[in-house]
Structure 1
């Protein structure tokens, strides 16, 4: 038996089940469900919701253990969301008249994680649980927030500086939401005051698991904002492992935006049975639309065990050892075209990047690995802008949706210890968003080494993502997600193989032997956001359907093979106060499993990592197309 599910979501599910049971006993629901966009459906849903909440409230007023527990953790008067019909475009024209005024004063209001509201700064923690929770959280320092701003005191306010700064704050791991406002009461014709309001995430978090039968377990502790300084340590320790050594350790430390340079430092030390890593990096991205310089420098030392190509007779995986040291550096420069619309047109920079990677292999499992120096250069054009919406990956908070397009071409040369090769690659991505139609993203990329006019280790990738607009019925909300991904390998090395495990194909699926060189996956998901909230935990129900095709060899189509499928239903708990934010529990079923492995067709799958992610249209470092 493996215990890894947190107690609090299970308790919340039990309470919800009690409320639904009480409702069903009072008045059984026998009528069929009406289509969601009708007035009847809205009224029916609201009546059902009112009955459930009424039963919970009545139960909380009883002088019983369950009543006292409900009264202490359930908020029967939750804070209302802002209207969803907000101006979707992040470029706020209301501030256009303030362009190039001098910033006279910057007031920063940093709110603690629990019990405060970014929409009502007079709101205070109302229960002892909220007040106690804030004692274990260090509020973000104002200087750290100030370092994120793209405008300064006593300097003219550039177009888009307010909305770009607001977006950068929202994308910070330890900040839940942010608002930047102009104080209209003190604004003059040539100067203004700015108010910056942020609300923290409860940054201290962790997880763990334990198996009573073997005594093995795992403990993870993370802090997203150590002492309010933006430092992010994370430590994982495993014990009583059934491996050559009973313990494993992994530690990471990150410092974001050192000073006001937007340079981030990352160090890692991982000591596991089959993977060891020591690494240190400094990097700076094209974080804003007007950023001119980006780059990174770092070194890593890795020892790992990789899976070797399986045969049809294998019943256990076969591995080989790989060890190397890698030094990596890149630099990028953006050249912005002039705009005559006061900076409100999407920036269209021409970006050039160069990169050098020096890899020295110490241990190799096959002869397909050679020490080398890889020189890469890229040139591209990026157009990006951002929109605002809600109920995408967060439960009601403002989220920034990237849209635009990017096209890039990469060329390079590998100076190898055995042979020399050229590299050529190209990629294109686009995304469009309409509040009434939804979001559509598409991308295509190809890259390959070339040796004596033969293509080696080539990769072709095509990806698409669509999510619908938000459908509403009372306080219930629904959104659909559809994703398609294709990865084809061209003359890949035998040990370079694709899987359909977990985030690579079928959620919750895990096979050690099922591998291939060509893969096509389709994923569907429906999220129903409920109005229920307990101790800051909001509840959504989830339904998924995944299908994946896999084949090996350059001339074999994956569609000639029978696909693997997975289906599931479950719950998603989201707490904006906590660092892990979202916890998802799925009950999955896999009709088909590999014949040479003993894999259960039913599985309870727990995850805190989002399955879908936005692709930002930032120009990134030049690189070789990934095959994974």
Structure 2
């Protein structure tokens, strides 16, 4: 190589290196200055630790208007949505907020309990955000005053999902009717291939009935969709749900009563239509073991033990002809009695831009380990069950979050394990990256599932959380499944009428091995695409998402490319300390 060629090569190399260096420098882990670039990432109890043990003298409830922001209290939102919200919205009644407090006046400050209470209030479906502020009292160093700031969501909302003009599903609701912490929801359906073409449904829910922390819901629908068969059914139901609202709470439980009946609304042949009806009763209750003794000695100890029992029964009054006396996970009469012992510790980071567009989200760090055992009966098959769930949550403090989970279980019958299962996975959210005014968050979910000696369980499908998003066919199934989901969200700085936007590319890969087949029979399925989400954080309207799907290999009857608009998108990270005892679920989150 002559000198001139070598010189050109070096110049070209420097040029390329400069491009990569500039690209690398343009992406930062820390924001630039200014209120628009603020980013929350802090342990939830940290702000309250200096007041630990001091007596609470007075608690004040302070509602915050839509034009104010917790991130910058001096700034005002002068958008049309904020002005309309302030004029039309009925704020949550102060006694409703006070009803959701489990910190009390004339009691000592427990930093963790204050953080738990702030998170509980913020988690109400009608709340945009909540902050609990502790103030020192001049001349009284042993006491403090507490202010509870709350900012509502505009409670009237709705959404729509459409597949062209052939099928339109819409709902309208008030998530905080009269500011009383109650929800009334109505939904309707038009489908030109349905007879009748119109459907309807609705429910009413009251949160925290009588300061018991029990949420009560009653509902009726003629268009409820069975997740296993995608058959529309008529359903009537009542649910009572009491979550473990804090590690310092003692009781949790729930009750569900319902009746379901399917009608052939789409004129399907009797040979393929699932005609069924059944009644169900499902109840569980649990108690935090040793909580009194544990908190009496040191109320900063967060490790807990929880014992729960559950009994449920499903009575089929009409079994689909194609099921008959064969085993099916839904369309068999079944009953069970299960007990579960859980060890857990969960604390939280307050952060942003996981599912929301700047609203405060609470992500756990800690562990949850549950052992479940009991007796399960399906048709005439009665079997003891044993299973375990383990979840580990962690964060480095840079704003990244990792959840590693393991589910395993099986039934014993005549000395062998039936419906043995194991599900191992990890979910990761990257640290927040900044590119100019754009925030970037990477999501990764990896899972492996194995089901063996299948008797009553459904096979592993890929049309669910552990497979390909948007894959609506049940034609791909097996007993070994490996899936990878990737998505990168770009939260844009700019707003339009109070709405923020986040475009995202995504890709999913799934390997599925047919039942009783060798690994070489494994099939690869993939999906990729992009989309955009938008949300006004002041509105209770769910996040609006338009997502494009492309399936390189699409099964018969399913389109290889489609675009779907949806509003049933979560906008906060959801987490429970305790769930009802259950057998391992392999096709749903």
Same fold (TM over 0.5): yes
Among 563, 569, 574, the residue aligned to 1:604: 563
- Residues 420-447 of structure 1, C-alpha deviations (whole Å, 9 max, x = no match): 2211111111111112272111111112
What residue is the counterpart of 1:354 in the other structure? 309
Is it true that 1:375 corresponds to 2:337 in the alignment?
yes
Q: Partners of 2:77 and 2:514 in 1: how far apart? A: 58
Among 19, 42, 63, the residue aligned to 1:110: 63
Among 333, 338, 361, the residue aligned to 2:294: 338
Q: Partners of 2:409 and 2:529 in 1: how far apart? A: 35
Is it true that 1:256 corresponds to 2:207 in the alignment?
yes
Higher strand share: 2
Over the aligned positions, Cα root-mean-square deviation in angstroms equals 3.2
Deviation at 1:184, TM superposition (A): 2.6
What residue is the counterpart of 1:200 in the other structure? 152
Among 497, 507, 510, the residue aligned to 2:472: 510
What residue is the counterpart of 2:12 in the other structure? none
Among 529, 537, 540, the residue aligned to 2:499: 537
Q: Is the 8 A contact 2:514 2:522 kept in 1?
A: no
Is it true that 1:464 corresponds to 2:426 in the alignment?
yes
Q: Secondary structure at the match of 1:146?
A: helix
Q: Partners of 2:571 and 2:151 in 1: how far apart? A: 25
Q: Secondary structure at the match of 1:625?
A: coil
What residue is the counterpart of 1:243 in the other structure? 194
Is it true that 1:440 corresponds to 2:402 in the alignment?
yes
Q: Partners of 1:620 and 1:411 in 2: how far apart? A: 15
Instruction: Indicate the structure whose relative CO is greater, using CA pairs within 8 Å and at least 6 residues apart.
Output: 2
Deviation at 1:121, TM superposition (A): 5.3
Alpha-carbon distance change, 97 to 452 in structure 1, aligned in 2, over 3 angstroms:
same
Q: Is the 8 A contact 2:408 2:584 kept in 1?
A: yes
- Residues 568-587 of structure 1, C-alpha deviations (whole Å, 9 max, x = no match): 12222121022234222223
Deviation at 1:366, TM superposition (A): 2.6
Q: Partners of 1:471 and 1:80 in 2: how far apart? A: 17
Among 221, 225, 232, the residue aligned to 1:274: 232
Query: What is the aligned residue count?
Result: 548
Worse-matched range after superposition: 493-502 or 515-524: 493-502
Q: Secondary structure at the match of 1:259?
A: helix
What residue is the counterpart of 2:546 in the other structure? 585
Is it true that 1:318 corresponds to 2:275 in the alignment?
no
Q: Is the 8 A contact 1:503 1:611 kept in 2?
A: no
Deviation at 1:259, TM superposition (A): 2.6
- Residues 297-323 of structure 1, C-alpha deviations (whole Å, 9 max, x = no match): 2311123489xxxxxxxx999342332
Q: Partners of 1:180 and 1:133 in 2: how far apart? A: 23
What residue is the counterpart of 1:68 in the other structure? none
Q: Partners of 1:210 and 1:355 in 2: how far apart? A: 39
Among 374, 377, 388, the residue aligned to 1:426: 388
Is it true that 1:285 corresponds to 2:243 in the alignment?
yes
What residue is the counterpart of 2:261 in the other structure? 303
Deviation at 1:450, TM superposition (A): 2.2
Q: Secondary structure at the match of 1:169?
A: helix
Aligned positions of 1:473-492 closer than 5 A: 473-492=435-454
Q: Partners of 1:184 and 1:527 in 2: how far apart? A: 41
Q: Partners of 2:184 and 2:139 in 1: how far apart? A: 42
Is it true that 1:561 corresponds to 2:522 in the alignment?
yes
What residue is the counterpart of 2:43 in the other structure? 89
Alpha-carbon distance change, 563 to 35 in structure 1, aligned in 2, over 3 angstroms:
farther
Q: Partners of 2:110 and 2:372 in 1: how far apart? A: 33
What residue is the counterpart of 1:38 in the other structure? 25
Q: Is the 8 A contact 2:80 2:498 kept in 1?
A: no
Deviation at 1:264, TM superposition (A): 0.8
- Please, what TM-score do these two structures have when normalized by structure 1? 0.80
- Segments of structure 1 that go 5 or more residues without pairing to the other structure are 1-30, 47-78, 307-314
Q: Secondary structure at the match of 1:393?
A: coil
What residue is the counterpart of 2:510 in the other structure? 548
Worse-matched range after superposition: 434-443 or 150-159: 150-159
